[in-house]
Amino acid sequence: QKEVEQNSGPLSVPEGAIASLNCTYSDRVSQSFFWYRQYSGKSPELIMSIYSNGDKEDGRFTAQLNKASQYVSLLIRDSQPSDSATYLCAVNSNDYKLSFGAGTTVTVRA
Amino acid sequence: NAGVTQTPKFQVLKTGQSMTLQCAQDMNHNSMYWYRQDPGMGLRLIYYSASEGTTDKGEVPNGYNVSRLNKREFSLRLESAAPSQTSVYFCASSELGRWTEAFFGQGTRLTVV
């Protein structure tokens, strides 16, 4: 079983819609959870971090965490063409190890 | 304001050749990391250096060696390249455990033929 699993996609949404990305993790002691955005041919950039159960909102992005279900999600509201990218879920269970999912590619149709 | 700089950006090697990927950061971070990214696999940790003078294996260290030359520089060496090492390599730096402040380099696209 992979440590971090994401819905493989690709995910295509119309401009203005909500894109919903899901991630599950296997290590129950994980403490920190991150979403990275990666444009094609570029390096990952951090867009959200979440540490406690519930929702965390930052602009058009909302991260949701449910530790009991070992589940993290990212919602992108009012999706824009500039949101077209691969989104990587990452989970940190100790100081050095950040485990990544395979990523979900999102395409926003104008 | 360079952040994390990797060289080279692209490289083609023949099987059995050796090469060193260079990484330098100017943010005074103690910890540096090397990842590889393959299609459908996400990023996987090869080696990391928690602080100057220390290095440790990550998930996929076989076929690689590293050197933490000083606080700024962390190099990754392929002694005898294999086609399975065709990948995109990313260097990253942070303070240990502070992943909200981690920065990634631009990546090195390596092809082994």
Name the least confident of A89-93, B10-14, B25-29, B67-71: A89-93
Convert the pLDDT of each residue in A50-99 to its tens digit.
Answer: 999 999 999 999 999 999 999 999 999 999 999 999 999 999 877 667 88
Query: If interface means Cβ-Cβ distance under 8 Å, which residues of chain A face chain B?
Result: 4, 8, 32, 34, 41-46, 49, 88, 90, 92, 94-98, 100-103
Give the E-state strand segments of chain A in sequence order.
4-6, 11-14, 19-25, 32-38, 45-50, 54-58, 61-66, 71-76, 85-92, 98-100, 104-109
Nearest to B41 by CA among A4, A59, A108, A85: A4
Q: Are B30 and B84 in contact (CB under 8 A)?
A: no
Determine the residue of chain A that is closest to B107 in CA distance: A43
Structure confidence at residue A1 (pLDDT): 61
Q: Are A64 and A54 in contact (CB under 8 A)?
A: yes
Convert the pLDDT of each residue in A16-37 to its tens digit.
Answer: 999 999 999 998 888 899 999 9
Structure confidence at residue B81 (pLDDT): 97
Q: Which pLDDT band, with edges at 50, 70 and 90, does B1 fall under?
A: low
